[in-house]
């Protein structure tokens, strides 16, 4: 058993304090008895629950079910109906699950064997309106389709949207920084001389060479999307970027806000990232 310490004394960086047991209480949300303690030095009282990530959550038994629903194409509001909890509770849990999933997603990736071959690319979506597009940069391991990293960044509207997007003011393109953040993270997850594949975006090569000077880097010319693959799966007999495109199609199929022709859209960039992390953890742990 791990040593129990007084959270208040530790905060005031006292080296140690004497702790006594002081009764217990029954937690109804998961039917467990929780031991309480009291610090003799500062008379602060606390319990085993104080140190847990779900501390103060009243509906902790719904967390796991919600995590699965949010990774399976269910919207936040529909999840609230299905789980018989308030939609505000769902939002709070969604943010909690986002942080928790990011931690476990990164931890699991660091513990796995280093990737030999990886693919990366951008997927486009938007926040609130199509005039405020977002870019999701993601990378997968080629053989297993394991998601290695995801970054979300804003970008300026392109093509026909650019003119109408003027009313929202100047929108800074942050894709370059996001790509570099991702490549930097990938350094820890790959061998020193990995094979890296991507599409033929002219900006990619310089960044890849900067972070992976010894890598074998191959670029492929993009192909037209097949109708049923929703633009992600290509009309090719052999798609060299299949692992990545398949994963993008999985994101589109399982994250409600990324569906094509959807009512449900992203309102905040940070929440898109949280939702992607919830899915990525589920994808790596359960789906592949």
Residue ranges binding Zn ion (CB under 5 A): 6, 8-9, 17, 39, 41-42, 44
Q: How far is the CB of 38 from Zn ion (least distance, A)?
A: 9
Could you give the angle at the alpha carbon of 167 between the alpha carbons of 166 and 168, nearest 5°? 90
Query: Of the two residues 41 and 143, which places its CB atom closer to Zn ion in the complex?
Result: 41
**Joined tokens for residue 195:** 């094979």
Check: CB of residue 83 under 8 Å from CB of residue 74: no
Q: Which residue is listed with tokens 């979300």?
A: 152
- Helix ranges, 136-268 (H): 161-164, 175-189, 204-211, 242-254
Q: By the 8 A CB rule, do 53 and 64 touch?
A: no
Q: Least CB distance from residue 47 to Zn ion, whole Å?
A: 14
Q: Residue 39 or residue 115: which is nearer to Zn ion going by CB? A: 39
Strand partners, 37: 21, 46
Q: Toward Zn ion, which CB reaches closer, 47 or 119?
A: 47
Token pair 């071959």 is at which residue?
A: 117
216-220 and 190-199 as β-strands: parallel, antiparallel, unpaired? parallel
Q: How far is the CB of 22 from Zn ion (least distance, A)?
A: 13
How many other CB atoms sit within 10 Å of the CB of residue 240?
A: 18
**Cα(177)–Cα(169) distance, integer angstroms:** 21
Q: CB of 15: closest distance to Zn ion in angstroms?
A: 12
Q: In the bound complex, what is the minimum distance in angstroms from residue 21's beta carbon to Zn ion?
A: 14
* Token reading at 233: 């799966």
Complex with Zn ion: residue 6 or 150, whichever CB lies closer: 6
Nearer to Zn ion, 6 or 196 (CB): 6
* Least CB distance to Zn ion at residue 103 (A): 28
Cβ-based neighbours of 170, under 8 Å, separated by 6 or more: 156
SS3 annotation, 51-87: HCCCCCCCCHHHHHHHHHHHCCCCCHHHHHHHHCCCH
Q: In the complex with Zn ion, which residue's Cβ is closer, 44 or 130?
A: 44
Residue 53: CB minimum distance to Zn ion, A = 22
Comparing CA positions, the residue from 284, 283, 278, 286 lying closest to residue 98 is: 278
Cβ atoms of 24 and 35 within 8 Å: the answer is: yes
Q: Considering the complex, state which of residue 42 and residue 191 has its C-beta at the smaller distance from Zn ion.
A: 42
State the minimum distance, in angstroms, from the CB of residue 35 to Zn ion. Answer: 16
- Cβ proximity to Zn ion: between 51 and 220 the closer is 51
């Amino acid at each position: 058993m791990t040593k129990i310490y007084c959270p208040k004394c530790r905060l005031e960086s006292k080296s140690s304090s004497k702790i006594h047991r002081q009764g217990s209480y029954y937690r109804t949300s998961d039917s467990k008895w929780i031991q309480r303690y009291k610090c003799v030095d500062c008379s602060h009282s606390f319990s085993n629950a104080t140190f847990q990530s779900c501390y103060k959550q009243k509906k902790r038994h719904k967390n796991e079910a919600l995590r699965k629903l949010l990774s399976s194409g269910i919207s936040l509001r529909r999840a609230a109906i299905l789980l018989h909890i308030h939609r505000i509770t769902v939002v709070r849990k969604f943010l909690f699950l986002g942080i928790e999933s990011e931690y476990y997603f990164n931890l699991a990736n660091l513990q796995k064997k280093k990737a030999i071959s990886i693919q990366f690319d951008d997927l486009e979506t938007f926040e609130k309106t199509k005039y405020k597009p977002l870019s999701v940069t993601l990378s997968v391991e080629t053989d297993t389709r394991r998601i290695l990293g995801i970054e979300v960044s804003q970008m300026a509207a392109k093509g026909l949207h650019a003119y109408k997007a003027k009313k929202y003011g100047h929108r800074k393109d942050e894709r370059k920084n996001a790509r570099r953040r991702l490549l930097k993270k990938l350094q820890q997850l790959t061998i020193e001389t990995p094979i890296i594949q991507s599409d033929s975006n002219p900006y990619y090569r310089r960044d890849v060479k900067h972070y992976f000077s010894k890598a074998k880097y191959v670029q492929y010319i993009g192909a037209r999307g097949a109708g049923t693959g929703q633009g992600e799966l290509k009309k090719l007999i052999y798609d060299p970027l299949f692992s990545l495109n398949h994963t993008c199609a999985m994101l589109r199929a399982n994250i409600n806000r990324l569906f094509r022709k959807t009512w449900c859209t992203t309102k905040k960039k940070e929440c898109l990232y949280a939702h992607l992390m919830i899915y990525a953890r589920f994808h790596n742990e359960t789906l592949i």
